[in-house]
């Protein structure tokens, strides 16, 4: 997978939330950085180095591409700095640990009804941790796909799965497992993110929408002249 080292390095920076996260998404999307000014521009006829479709899990009967596997593993490794899944890192619990053998070890070799309540509890905790790790990976992959689409000007309908680009319309692909485990969007938070002090409907909608933006989208919006002007206007209000 060494041929993808430039791509996976950028993904690591993005996933770990480094200062270069936004730049990484732009680079992956085909932008070019001016080393003197630090500004990013999109050259004519530029081609994205990585698209959201490259980051989508294939159907069960389809062999995953080497690029997809490299992207997935780089996300896993970037999120494996802490052993927060029942004592394992994400990489360990998803890729290294033999689940069946480990569950047997947790039960001191006991199977079925021979397992004690404590042993059953340990097995359930491990299984829950493995499910959570897979869910977290799905969230990170989904956020990566969404931010790539944002940078590349792709707007996807949440109703029919169709996507609209500058070149026309198409259909997003992927199997049911991909949509459930590696969803393309971050789930909406339960309840409202709006403080009770905010009452105006327009401001309520604004705050709720801001709460659903990814880190990269927040950085992009924060640099927008409209947002900066809004902050100045708020400061001027007495």
- CA distances to 10, 70, 93, 151 from 25, in Å: 8, 16, 28, 7
Chain segment 40-77, per-residue pLDDT in tens? 898 988 899 999 999 999 988 999 999 999 999 999 99
What's the pLDDT at 72?
A: 96
Q: Which of the two residues, 220 and 148, has the higher pLDDT score?
A: 148
The answer to whether residues 103 and 97 touch, using CB atoms and an 8 Å cutoff, is: no
The pTM assigned to this predicted structure is 0.65
Terminal-to-terminal C-alpha distance of the chain: 58
């Amino acid at each position: 997978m060494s041929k993808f080292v430039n791509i996976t390095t950028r993904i690591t920076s993005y996933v770990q939330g480094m200062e270069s996260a936004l730049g990484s998404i732009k680079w992956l999307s085909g932008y070019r950085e001016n080393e003197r000014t630090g500004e990013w521009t999109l050259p004519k006829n530029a081609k994205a180095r990585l698209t959201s479709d490259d980051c989508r899990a294939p159907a069960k009967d389809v062999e995953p591409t080497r690029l997809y596997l490299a992207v997935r593993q780089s996300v896993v490794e970037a999120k494996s700095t802490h052993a927060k899944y029942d004592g394992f890192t994400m990489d360990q619990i998803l890729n290294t640990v033999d689940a069946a053998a480990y569950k047997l070890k947790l039960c001191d070799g006991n199977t079925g009804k021979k397992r004690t309540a404590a042993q059953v509890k340990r097995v359930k905790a491990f299984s829950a941790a493995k499910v959570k790790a897979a869910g977290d990976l799905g969230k990170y992959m989904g956020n990566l796909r969404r931010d790539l689409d944002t940078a590349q000007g792709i707007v996807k309908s949440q109703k029919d799965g169709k996507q609209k680009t500058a070149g026309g319309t198409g259909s997003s692909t992927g199997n049911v497992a991909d949509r459930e485990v590696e969803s393309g969007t971050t789930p909406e938070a339960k309840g409202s993110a709006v403080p009770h002090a905010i009452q105006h409907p327009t401001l309520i909608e604004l705050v709720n929408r801001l709460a659903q933006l990814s880190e990269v989208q927040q950085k992009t919006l924060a640099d927008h002249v409209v947002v900066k002007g809004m902050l100045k206007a708020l400061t001027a209000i007495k």
